[in-house]
């Protein structure tokens, strides 16, 4: 058996407050889109008992176009993709490839040893491995029976 609900057109109209809330939420909760249509890279971050691993999707970038900094508990990724030279003999139909610079700062979940960090770049995926500081690694205590 289905429930019938009376259609009320006024219920479907968005109030000014709802419209402002929607606008504000889109502006605040979607920080990935920046000016000039460039977006920051998508990032995955996870941790194991010994390290924090960050993977960033950077298609089209070369390893020397990306800079990685660790300051305190903040990991910062910066990069710049160069724009190809404009030629006047082209008539563009679609132009979606992006260029320019990006910067993304990530709060690390725990203290790391930045001097021992490793970064690898393969098939457009940047993988950063940051060993955890000794004081935050889990310790196993063996219980001895008497």
Number of domains in the chain: 1
114 in any annotated domain: yes
37 pLDDT higher than 60: no
In sequence order, the 6+-apart residues with CB closer than 8 A to the CB of 129 are 51, 52, 53, 117, 118, 119, 120
The verdict on residue 42 lying in a domain is yes
Rg (CA), the chain: 24
- Examine residue 89 and state whether it is found in any structural domain, yes or no: no
Residues 73 and 108 sit within 8 Å (Cβ to Cβ): yes
107 against 19, higher pLDDT: 107
CATH assignment of the domain containing 115: 2.60.40.790
In a domain, 119, yes or no: yes
pLDDT at 108: 93
Residue 95 covered by a domain: no
Overall pTM > 0.75? no
What is each CA distance from 44 to 51, 56, 68, 128, in whole angstroms? 14, 7, 15, 10
Q: DSSP state, 96?
A: -
Q: How far apart are CA 111 and CA 145, in angstroms?
A: 35
Q: Does the pLDDT of residue 17 top 60, yes or no?
A: yes
Residue 11 maps to a domain = no
Averaged over 22-37, what is the pLDDT?
Answer: 58
Query: Residue 35: pLDDT band by 50, 70, 90 thresholds?
Result: very low
The parent domain of residue 122 ranges over 36-83+100-136
Domain assignment present for residue 122? The answer is: yes
Percent of the chain having pLDDT more than 90?
35
Residue with tokens 């709060």: 107
* Average pLDDT rounded to a whole number, residues 78-89: 77
Distance from chain centroid for Cα 7: 42
Q: Which helix (H) or strand (E) holds 22?
A: helix 16-29
Kindly state whether residue 92 falls inside one of the protein's structural domains: no
Supply the pLDDT for residue 34. Answer: 45
């Amino acid at each position: 058996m289905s429930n019938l609900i009376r259609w009320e057109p006024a219920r479907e109209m968005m109030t000014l407050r709802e419209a402002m809330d929607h606008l504000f939420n889109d502006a605040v909760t979607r920080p990935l889109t920046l000016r000039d249509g460039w977006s920051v890279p998508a990032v995955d971050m996870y941790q194991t008992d010994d390290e924090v691993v960050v993977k960033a999707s950077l298609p089209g970038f070369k390893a020397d176009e990306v800079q990685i900094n660790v300051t305190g508990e903040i990991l910062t990724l910066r990069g710049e993709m160069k724009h190809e030279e404009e030629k006047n003999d082209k008539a563009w139909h679609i132009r979606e490839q992006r260029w320019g610079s990006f910067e993304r700062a990530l709060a690390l979940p725990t203290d790391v040893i930045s001097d021992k960090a490793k970064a690898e770049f393969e098939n457009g995926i940047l993988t950063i491995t940051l060993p955890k500081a000794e004081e935050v690694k889990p310790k196993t205590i063996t219980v001895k029976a008497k």
